[in-house]
Structure 1
Amino acid sequence: MELTHKVILDTDIGTDVDDALALAVLLGSKDVDLLGITTVYGDTKLRAQIALHLCLIAEREIPVFAGESMPLSGKDVWLSGAEGEDIEGLDRHLVSTNSGVDFMVGAVNAQPGQVDLMAIGPLTNIARAIESSIEFMQNIKHLWIMGGDFSESKIEHNFKCDVTAAKKVLESNIPITILDLPSAQKTIIRSKEINRIRNSGKLGPFLYAEIMKWIEPRNQDWTIPHDPIAILGCLQPAYFQLSNFGKVHINPDGVSRWAEHPDGNVQLLLHKEPEKAVEKMIALLNALN
């Protein structure tokens, strides 16, 4: 059977738990050909080792490449300090010496119009890919982004971490769909769903531990699965609605605005059935048996 989606995941996995959930969703999707994973922002080698660790638990061999560690903006990198904490054996995972940007450009240009690129971290790798290859922009099938906050004058983390890269990517002519922060916040997983994740598939115990590591210091019994929901926008479009096309403006502080425009390249991913999206996420985690 031919797989429906050829995908590259670009991620800052290791800081918040939702990147790991997003990777698990892709690994559990039988209609996804995950061509590779690229990591971005900060200690990208460590992030790559975390991604390799998840793939090992899931018994999947997926190429993983460390990408750009420093933002184009020159801004200092912010890390939680908990990246990779309590994950034993990360040093055994050998990361490719090939760069994440080179892999991304090569894979997209080798399969024009076939590769969906899913960006769930700062957009530095994609911006560097645009700089390095004119063909890259033309050859991407679609770019799916989790980022931005278009409802108020708020600054969202992924865009803030590299405003220069975000501006370059959003003002390109690449076809883009964005799940922004307010839309993502319509899906919340609480204790009931978190306990179901604990017992779901090969990655369940790991994901549960990562969720608890994130929510317990914040005295929460819930979390928002921003990144896996953005992934589901591509894989399960029936659960979502799309806005008309528009353009995004982002100011130097990272405040972003989307406005409908006939020549725009950016659509917003809007929830239609958020509860079903959460159920599908858990079902895909269970598929990793």
Structure 2
Amino acid sequence: MRMKLSFLLLLTLLTISSQMLAQEKVIMDTDIGDDIDDAYAVALALASPELKILGITSAWGNTELRSQMLDRLLCLAGRSDVPVLSGVKTTTENVFSQQVWARAGEGRVHGDAVDFLLDAIRKNPGEITLLAIAPLTNIGAAMDRDPVTFKKLKRIVMMGGSIRRGYGDTGLTPAHGPDAEYNIAMDVAAARKLFQSGVPIYLMPLDSTQLALDETKREMLTTVSTPLTDALLVLTAEWQRASHQVTPVLYDVMAVAFAIKPELCPVTAMHISVSEEGKTKEGPGTPNTNVCLASDAETFFQFLMPRLLKQDLHGNSSCVR
């Protein structure tokens, strides 16, 4: 009996060790707080043991308030061990729809996002996946500061661009063609540098990321109460009030999902360039990007919803000042 228990213990330890070894090292770069999809993207990453989150960097606009929001979200999930770094501040006319919730969180000192990213790459050359779900200002700054180190990223998985379908082109009505997608258009110079960088890019554009979290799925989230799921519901309500919209579109979540399960968004090798107005254009030339042109919404939500509903992330429910 004792030998059997020892064997089971050893098997359990080996299983845990193999899972830890198999974890993908990731850094997330997010403009959480404006649209609601970033919050769901961070939640999916936290609920996915396949990912080892080395840090989360805030991007675009009021990056310090975004960092404060991330602090609170991580505290609720019991993951205050994950470093949060503030990126380059910019001017933006976007509405920080979730700022009331963000400002109620405990503030702390945050380091420099660009320095953190480059230092992490130096310590883990060829091992880090950068999950880029924001305008590319931090990434452009990292390329400018140390292009040699930046190229030692394993890959970039990003939500951005519009190849054949634009905003609202979901297949239910005639497509009007590609648009200048927000994450690309807000910093065209950085986007151009990235697509010319030689770093492997996996692009989730509007073509494959217009995934609506409908009322039925939002109702499902009310059936489970954890600090993290409760936060998602409150943040969704704040976004709805501020944006005068009802149904979230989970653009950024597909980038995180792809990093975990790439078959959710099959990619095609393409040559992508960025126009002056921020449009991502396919054209002739050596492929520089792996692009997901289509995804299946039902399969995506069958992957996402159980992770949000069954996750067991319990931190301090009073992560406020």
Q: List structure 1 segments (4+ residues) > 6 angstroms apart after TM superposition.
A: none
The change in CA–CA distance for 1:285 and 1:95 in structure 2 (over 3 A counts) is: farther
Q: Secondary structure at the match of 1:182?
A: helix
1:80 pairs with 2:95: yes
Among candidates 52, 63, 70, match of residue 83 of structure 2: 63
Q: Is the 2:97–2:243 Cα contact (8 Å) retained in structure 1?
A: no
Q: Secondary structure at the match of 2:64?
A: helix
Please report how far the alpha carbon of residue 213 of structure 1 lies from its aligned counterpart in structure 2 after TM superposition. 2.5
Moved more, 193-202 or 3-12: 193-202
1:247 pairs with 2:260: no
1:264 pairs with 2:287: yes
Please report how far the alpha carbon of residue 89 of structure 1 lies from its aligned counterpart in structure 2 after TM superposition. 2.6
Q: Secondary structure at the match of 2:197?
A: coil
Q: Deviations over 1:185-238 (max 9, x none)?
A: 1x2210110122234443111111222222356665422111111111110112
Q: Is the 2:69–2:103 Cα contact (8 Å) retained in structure 1?
A: no
The residue aligned with 2:65 is: 46
1:273 pairs with 2:296: yes
Q: Which amino acid aligns with 2:248?
A: T
Q: Which amino acid aligns with 1:95?
A: V
Q: Which amino acid aligns with 1:129?
A: A
The change in CA–CA distance for 1:213 and 1:266 in structure 2 (over 3 A counts) is: same
The change in CA–CA distance for 1:288 and 1:18 in structure 2 (over 3 A counts) is: farther
Q: Any gaps of 5 or more consecutive residues in structure 1?
A: 71-75
Q: Deviations over 1:255-285 (max 9, x none)?
A: 2212364x22201124443212112212222
1:175 pairs with 2:188: no
The change in CA–CA distance for 1:85 and 1:194 in structure 2 (over 3 A counts) is: same
Please report how far the alpha carbon of residue 247 of structure 1 lies from its aligned counterpart in structure 2 after TM superposition. 2.1
Q: Is the 1:202–1:288 Cα contact (8 Å) retained in structure 2?
A: no
Give the Cα–Cα distance (whole angstroms) in 2 for the partners of residues 88 and 133 of structure 1.
33
The change in CA–CA distance for 1:260 and 1:33 in structure 2 (over 3 A counts) is: farther
Count of matched residue pairs: 279
Q: Secondary structure at the match of 1:77?
A: coil
The change in CA–CA distance for 1:237 and 1:80 in structure 2 (over 3 A counts) is: same
Q: Percent identity?
A: 27
- TM-score, normalised to structure 1, is 0.90
Q: Secondary structure at the match of 2:273?
A: strand
Q: Deviations over 1:73-131 (max 9, x none)?
A: xxx422214341244632x22032x2100000110121111100000000111111111
The residue aligned with 1:10 is: 29
Please report how far the alpha carbon of residue 239 of structure 1 lies from its aligned counterpart in structure 2 after TM superposition. 1.9
Q: Deviations over 1:123-173 (max 9, x none)?
A: 111111111113323310010110111123411111111111111112211
Among candidates 123, 126, 140, match of residue 136 of structure 2: 123
Give the Cα–Cα distance (whole angstroms) in 2 for the partners of residues 30 and 260 of structure 1.
39
Please report how far the alpha carbon of residue 182 of structure 1 lies from its aligned counterpart in structure 2 after TM superposition. 2.5
Q: Secondary structure at the match of 1:139?
A: coil
Q: Deviations over 1:41-77 (max 9, x none)?
A: 111000001011100000112100001113xxxxx42
Q: Secondary structure at the match of 1:226?
A: coil
Q: Secondary structure at the match of 1:68?
A: coil
Give the Cα–Cα distance (whole angstroms) in 1 for the partners of residues 261 and 301 of structure 2.
11
Q: Which amino acid aligns with 1:252?
A: E
Q: Is the 1:171–1:248 Cα contact (8 Å) retained in structure 2?
A: no
Q: Deviations over 1:6-32 (max 9, x none)?
A: 000000011111101111111001121
Report the aligned-residue RMSD: 1.8
The change in CA–CA distance for 1:101 and 1:15 in structure 2 (over 3 A counts) is: same
